[in-house]
Amino acid sequence: VPRLERFVNSLVINAAVLIIDKLYEGRDYSRFYALETVARVPYFSFLSVLHLYETLGFWRRADYLKVHFAQTMNEFHHLLIMESLGGDDKFRDRFFAQHMAVGYYGIACLMYLVSPRMAYNLSEQVEEHAYHTYDVFLRENEERLKRQSPPPIAVHYYQEGDLFLFDEFQTGAVTGVARGADKRRPRIDSLYDVFVNVRNDEAEHMKTMQFCQLPGTILRAP
């Protein structure tokens, strides 16, 4: 990705992070709710543009649709987890996050129409920020989180949910015999485990976005 594109994307991300961190200062779950509301948007925009191309007969490749849809569903469950923890309790928090997501959707669609590579890089930087945010949160709150029970929605998604959708976006996982049910079904014994898996999901999204930026590559669903 050209340096200028990365720089422009980093300016957008840094500005958004500055606003979110200020508005949600000292309220981690509300901040995570806002992050997850926004994090879903790029995948919606990718799907919208790809469906448009498909409708016009310009494009026929189901793998991208499958993987990006699985990514939206993963982020959707992250959002449900944050809501179950009270992240969306206040109207102002919901109002800001949802309106920011609507604005971001328009930008992401336009960017994907003009330069898919730049759009994928923007999403990569969003996921990178999310990964580091959760990583810091885990290190600073490990003992407290290990004493808390996981919300039912997290247990359902990671241990009982649709394996097809869960595996589709896990493009960095090893395929074949070594990839057993225990690898795809992480243990969820505490709230700490939940956030470890949410953090690790963000790393998988980063890998997928990085791959999509490589010239001459074709994304294939697992």
Q: Using one digit for the tens of pLDDT, what is the confidence trace for 155-208?
A: 999 888 666 566 666 544 444 433 444 456 788 999 999 999 999 999 999 999
pLDDT at 13: 87
Q: pTM here?
A: 0.87
Q: Is residue 156 part of a domain?
A: yes
Q: Provide the pLDDT confidence category of residue 209 given band limits of 50, 70 and 90.
A: very high
Q: Does residue 221 form part of some domain?
A: no
Q: Is the residue at 190 inside a domain?
A: yes
The two structure tokens encoding residue 130: 């999310």
| pLDDT for the residue numbered 166 | 60
- State which residues form the domain around 27: 3-213
**In-domain check, residue 209:** yes
- Asked whether residue 106 is assigned to any structural domain, the reply reads yes
Residue type at position 117: R
- Count structural domains, the chain: 1
CB 186 within 8 A of CB 158: yes
Does residue 218 sit within a domain? no
Q: Per-residue confidence at 216, pLDDT binned at 50, 70, 90?
A: confident
Do 36 and 24 touch, CB atoms closer than 8 A?
Answer: no
Q: Alpha-carbon distance 67 to 45, whole Å?
A: 13
Confidence band for 122, pLDDT divided at 50, 70 and 90? very high
Statement: residue 95 has pLDDT above 60: yes
Measured between alpha carbons, how far apart are the two ends of the chain, in Å? 25
Q: DSSP secondary structure string, 145-210?
A: HHTSPPPHHHHIIIIIS-HHHHHHT-TTSPPSTT--HHHHS----SHHHHHHHHHHHHHHHHHHHH
> Would you call 179 exposed, middle or buried from its count of C-beta atoms within 10 A (0-12, 13-18, 19+)?
middle
In a domain, residue 169? The reply is yes
Highest mean pLDDT among 8-17, 69-78, 163-172, 183-192: 69-78
Percent of the chain with pLDDT over 90: 61
Residue 58, in any domain of the structure: yes
Q: Looking at residue 99, which CATH number applies to its domain?
A: 1.20.1260.140
